[in-house]
Amino acid sequence: MKYPENIPAVETRTDVSADEIAECIVGRAEPMLFKGAAAHWPMVSAAKAGKLSDYLAPFDQGRPLVVFRAGAETGGRIFYNERMDGFNFERTAGQLLPTMRALESYEFGEECCYVGSTPVDHHLPGLRDANDISMGEEKPLVSLWFGNRTRVAAHFDLPENLACVVAGRRRFTLFPPEQVSNLYPGPLDFNPAGQSISMVDFYNPIFDQFPKYRDALASAQVAEVYAGDVLYVPSMWWHQVEGLDSLNVLVNYWWRCSPAWSGLPHEALMHSLLSIGTLPIEQRRAWGGLFRHFVVEREEANAHIPSARQGVLGRMDRDTSARIKNMLLEALRRYS
């Protein structure tokens, strides 16, 4: 598969240390690649020496995890099956160390092997003592991802994301959030790993079926991420992720910019589908305007209202959050 030549690279820095990344990305809305920022990690050195599993062995707790396995005919593409009533891979039970050692010794051959988000502190407690990035006051979820040559279709995540390659090479193709309709997302509630994915095959796009995908490609950026590099992926940016070697290992940091008590935007989207999705198109568009005014542009929406009377349009705190939740629970009970 030949990668397109005209996709520009994300902005890259070579002068930023791991401890400086958090300050560099404050308020940033576009991806940035930090070359070599994690090259000092002992696990990166162990991977380069071909001894990563030996380095991880003292930390491993032997806890079970889920391994995605797919045949060579998939070309490593994690996707639906042809009938779209299932997927082109199977989920099998495994353990971290035996799976990684099998990858190191090429036991999977051309078969696709992929292990998704695996909490580091649960499976490898103590590993971060010498392999970590300081995130200041943030308390990120730190996860391990590994596999061989695989490709995960473009998708977005709510959290901010730092992706640190430990072994092998990863290629990220990134699209800004406003390209959502041009990426032709699949189902919200039936997908390979919990997030809606682009239905377009990046390496074989059928433009007669997906004509707007050309516009998505015109806005794309690419990051070739090597062992020791760190990529910042802003919240809501769509990203396709490819593992380019027989063993690819990545540690990522996820954190939210909103308090946990505020709930998840995905839940609001599902509620909106329930309450607005059945309205006529003219009314849906009208509600789209209200969402933009009261939610997206909320600072402008409340600017002319005295602060004492802004109510739910004012500063959101635990008390206001609790009042909104009670209103929603009462409404849902009425329509159950």
* Residue 104 in tokens: 């190191």
pLDDT at 312: 83
pLDDT mean over 301-312: 86
Nearest C-alpha neighbor of 238 from the set 159, 156, 153, 172: 156
The three-point CA angle 315-320-322 to 5° equals 150
Binning pLDDT at 50, 70 and 90, where does residue 136 land? Answer: confident
- For residue 252, the one-letter residue type is N
Binning pLDDT at 50, 70 and 90, where does residue 53 land? Answer: very high
pLDDT at 317: 87
Binning pLDDT at 50, 70 and 90, where does residue 274 land? Answer: confident
What sign does the dihedral 135-12-202-69 (CA atoms) show? negative
Binning pLDDT at 50, 70 and 90, where does residue 336 land? Answer: low
User: pLDDT of 210-250, one tens digit each?
Assistant: 999 999 999 999 999 999 999 999 999 999 999 999 999 99
DSSP 84: S
Residue span(s) of the chain under CATH 2.60.120.10 come to 11-255
pLDDT mean over 250-267: 89
User: pLDDT of 178-212, one tens digit each?
Assistant: 999 999 999 999 999 889 999 999 999 999 999 99
> Which phi and psi angles does 223 have, rounded to 5°?
-130, 120
pLDDT mean over 136-143: 92
- CATH 2.60.120.10: does it fit domain 11-255? yes
pLDDT at 334: 83
pLDDT at 194: 87
34 DSSP β-pair partners: 13, 230
Question: In this predicted structure, which of 224-228, 253-257, 319-323 has the lowest mean pLDDT?
Answer: 319-323
Model confidence, pTM = 0.93
